[in-house]
């Protein structure tokens, strides 16, 4: 073969490789999109102005929903960090992927969507908070925070090598993401998981945001002074504004050491990571707050309200960093002409309480921690507007595989969201969703429970060392303070929801919950 013929042949082969990679599994002419999945840790939908602008403006995050879709009913299957991450990767409930609680080591030998995308020709990356114990698998590149990670000058573990990086964690994770995008293999479509640490407890803001919201008085939620009447499990939690550690959670680290707090040593380690100028800026900002706290010695309701304001200031400052850094990423996509064919997803590993029921943290199946914020943008392919159908984090993996034109493994338990995104006929979409939380005994003392939610109603069963059912009409009682279970007028509805829930437990193969119900039925002879 002559040299010229060889060159032509190599050129044609290269073209064929590029086009087969770009289409990935799509049989038709649809081009496989790039995927950027941005997930924060504990970002409440109440703190996103595309959902509600009562607390904060998030103009950059809102761009995703303005130019794409906003899911108004998106939910988690188990409202806690590592279980949520395992559901994302596997498309399966906790009882199927094995990750029921924080602290368990994720079985990385399982089938996950990044592995399937990688096998099909995507370049894959995982950057930021991983929090699954085992090393990431299915990624061409990973650069993660060990464990929970730190806000200031954090360690990163890049493909097995740990180093300390100077700076603020949300900026650094975004820097790492942009650097990877810049150096990626441009012949392949890519899938990047960008997982922020923020705004996880202990809500440490960047030095550039330490004075934000200083003059703002945030409105108290209607159920802030909840009495938990008729709700035994809600009364037993330890995640109330009164349970805050003043030093760690409210940043009252006085030099004299007079302010006590169970997490003081932990927080001293956090600020101990700061360099001299960071520490100087930090101490200057909090000194007046600390002095006032010591002088005023607030008690009772006044102290709770002060705790609430103090908590929200820092939490929302952390969100501002996330918002600004998401803006940097979206700008990069614009500048590099990647916007049209890149799916940008924004979500959090679950919701969070911002004073509702008097709480912080998550875990419960009540709305604020059960709901996840979720926005998606892919201008070349998906519609704009709001999606009201019930969706869950089991749906992420099937959706990404479907978008790439790949087969969805039959044992994945979620549904592809593509029909909703493309405005196809979705009359037969699911009408109810299922939840199961396990981490008890555990931090914050939230008892084990499972339940079902429809558009309007929610039935929950708390079990293990308690046996209590709760029923809510979300239209009449959005704050979930009025447990209707056991009232005569609601017996038929409760029975109907119970039957629907048993059907979901069978569909999802949640035998533990079925066993619990059978035991309770036998013990209590209902
Ligand atoms: Ca979380």
Q: Ligand 1 centroid to 188 CA: how many Å? A: 32
Predicted pLDDT of residue 31: 83
pTM, 2 dp: 0.94
Q: Ligand 1 centroid to 375 CA: how many Å? A: 18
**CA 15 and chain centroid, separation:** 40
3-state secondary structure (DSSP) of residue 357:
helix
Q: Ligand 1 centroid to 495 CA: how many Å? A: 33
Rg over alpha carbons for the chain, rounded to the nearest Å, is 24
pLDDT tens digits along 261-299: 999 999 999 999 999 999 999 999 999 999 999 999 999
User: Could you tell me if 374 and 74 are in contact, meaning their C-beta atoms sit under 8 angstroms apart?
Assistant: yes
Residue 181 host element (H or E):
helix 169-183
User: Could you tell me if 197 and 81 are in contact, meaning their C-beta atoms sit under 8 angstroms apart?
Assistant: no
Nearest to 487 by CA among 478, 479, 476, 503: 476
Q: What is the mean pLDDT of the chain?
A: 94
3-state secondary structure (DSSP) of residue 307:
helix
Predicted pLDDT of residue 511: 87
Q: Ligand 1 centroid to 340 CA: how many Å? A: 30
Q: Ligand 1 centroid to 349 CA: how many Å? A: 5
Q: Ligand 1 centroid to 103 CA: how many Å? A: 13
Predicted pLDDT of residue 438: 97
Q: Ligand 1 centroid to 215 CA: how many Å? A: 28
Cα dist from 497 to 62, 137, 265, 453, 511, whole Å: 35, 39, 47, 9, 18
- Which backbone phi and psi does 347 adopt, to 5 degrees? -155, 180
Predicted pLDDT of residue 19: 45
pLDDT tens digits along 308-364: 999 999 999 999 999 999 999 999 999 999 999 999 999 999 999 999 999 999 999
* H-only helix segments in 336-464: 367-370, 396-403, 418-421
Cα dist from 8 to 2, 21, 188, whole Å: 10, 20, 22
What is the C-alpha to C-alpha distance for residues 439 and 370, in angstroms, rounded to an integer? 15
- Which backbone phi and psi does 477 adopt, to 5 degrees? -140, 70
Q: Ligand 1 centroid to 438 CA: how many Å? A: 15
What is the C-alpha to C-alpha distance for residues 268 and 273, in angstroms, rounded to an integer? 9
Predicted pLDDT of residue 13: 55
Predicted pLDDT of residue 519: 72
Residues facing residue 377 across a β-bridge: 344
Q: Taking the chain, what is the end-to-end CA distance rounded to the nearest angstrom? A: 84
Q: Ligand 1 centroid to 148 CA: how many Å? A: 10
pLDDT tens digits along 480-491: 999 999 999 999
Residue 264 host element (H or E):
helix 264-271
Residues facing residue 69 across a β-bridge: 376, 385
User: CB within 8 A of 379, min separation 6: which ones?
Assistant: 67, 68, 339, 340
Q: What is the largest CA-CA distance in the chain?
A: 90
Strands 190-195 and 123-129: parallel
Q: Ligand 1 centroid to 48 CA: how many Å? A: 16
Q: Ligand 1 centroid to 64 CA: how many Å? A: 21
Q: Ligand 1 centroid to 40 CA: how many Å? A: 8
Q: What is the DSSP letter of 480?
A: -
| Residue 482: CB atoms within 10 Å | 15
What is the C-alpha to C-alpha distance for residues 205 and 524, in angstroms, rounded to an integer? 50
Residues facing residue 434 across a β-bridge: 452
Residue 11 host element (H or E):
helix 3-23
Residues of the chain with pLDDT under 70: 1-22, 27-29, 520-526
Q: Ligand 1 centroid to 138 CA: how many Å? A: 22
HSE value, Cβ hemisphere, 13 Å, CA-based, for 113: 35
HSE value, Cβ hemisphere, 13 Å, CA-based, for 22: 12
Predicted pLDDT of residue 161: 98
Q: Ligand 1 centroid to 417 CA: how many Å? A: 23
């Amino acid at each position: 073969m002559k040299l010229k013929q060889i060159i032509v042949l190599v050129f044609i082969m290269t073209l064929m490789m590029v086009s087969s990679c770009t289409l990935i599994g799509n049989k038709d002419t649809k081009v496989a999109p790039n995927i950027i999945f941005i997930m924060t840790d504990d970002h409440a939908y109440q703190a996103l102005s595309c959902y509600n602008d009562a607390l904060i403006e998030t103009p950059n995050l809102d761009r995703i929903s303005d130019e794409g879709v906003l899911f108004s009913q998106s939910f988690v299957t188990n409202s806690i960090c590592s279980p949520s991450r395992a559901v994302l990767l596997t498309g399966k409930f906790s009882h199927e992927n094995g990750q029921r609680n924080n602290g368990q080591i994720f079985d990385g030998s399982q089938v996950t969507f990044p592995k399937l995308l990688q096998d099909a020709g995507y370049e894959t990356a995982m950057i930021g908070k991983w929090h699954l114990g085992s090393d990431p698998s299915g990624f061409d590149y990973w650069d993660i925070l060990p464990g929970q990670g730190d806000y200031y000058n954090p360690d990163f573990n890049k493909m097995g090598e740990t180093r300390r990086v100077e700076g603020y964690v949300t900026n650094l994770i975004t820097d790492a993401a942009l650097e990877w995008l810049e150096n990626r293999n441009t012949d392949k479509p890519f899938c990047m998981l960008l997982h922020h640490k923020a705004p996880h407890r202990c809500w440490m803001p960047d030095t550039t945001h330490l004075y934000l919201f200083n003059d703002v008085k945030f409105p108290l939620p209607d159920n802030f002074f909840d009495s938990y009447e008729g709700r035994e499990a809600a009364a037993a939690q330890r995640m109330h504004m009164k349970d805050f550690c003043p030093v760690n959670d409210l940043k009252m680290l006085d030099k004299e050491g007079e302010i006590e707090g169970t997490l003081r040593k932990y927080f001293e380690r956090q600020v101990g990571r700061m360099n001299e100028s960071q520490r100087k800026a930090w101490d200057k900002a909090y000194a007046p707050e600390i002095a006032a706290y010591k002088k005023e010695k607030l008690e009772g309701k006044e102290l709770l309200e002060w705790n609430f304001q103090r908590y929200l200031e820092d939490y929302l400052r952390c969100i501002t960093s996330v918002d600004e850094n998401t803006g940097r990423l979206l700008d990069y996509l614009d500048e590099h002409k990647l916007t049209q064919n890149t799916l940008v997803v924004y979500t959090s590993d679950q919701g969070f309480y911002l004073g509702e029921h008097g709480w912080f943290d998550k875990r419960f199946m009540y709305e604020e921690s059960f709901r996840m914020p979720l926005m998606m943008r892919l201008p070349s392919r998906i519609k704009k507007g709001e999606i009201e159908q019930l969706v869950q984090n089991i749906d992420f993996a099937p959706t990404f595989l479907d978008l790439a034109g790949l087969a969805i493994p039959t044992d994945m338990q979620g549904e592809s969201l593509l029909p909703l995104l493309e405005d196809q006929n979705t009359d037969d979409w699911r009408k109810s969703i299922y939840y199961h939380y396990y981490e008890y005994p555990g931090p914050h003392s939230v008892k084990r429970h499972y339940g079902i939610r429809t558009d309007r109603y929610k039935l929950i069963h708390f079990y293990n060392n308690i046996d209590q059912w709760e029923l809510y009409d979300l239209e009449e009682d959005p704050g979930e303070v009025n447990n209707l279970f056991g009232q005569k007028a609601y017996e038929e509805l409760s029975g109907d929801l119970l039957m629907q829930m048993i059907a979901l437990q069978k569909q999802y193969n949640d035998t533990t919950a079925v066993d619990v119900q059978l035991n309770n039925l036998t013990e209590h002879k209902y």
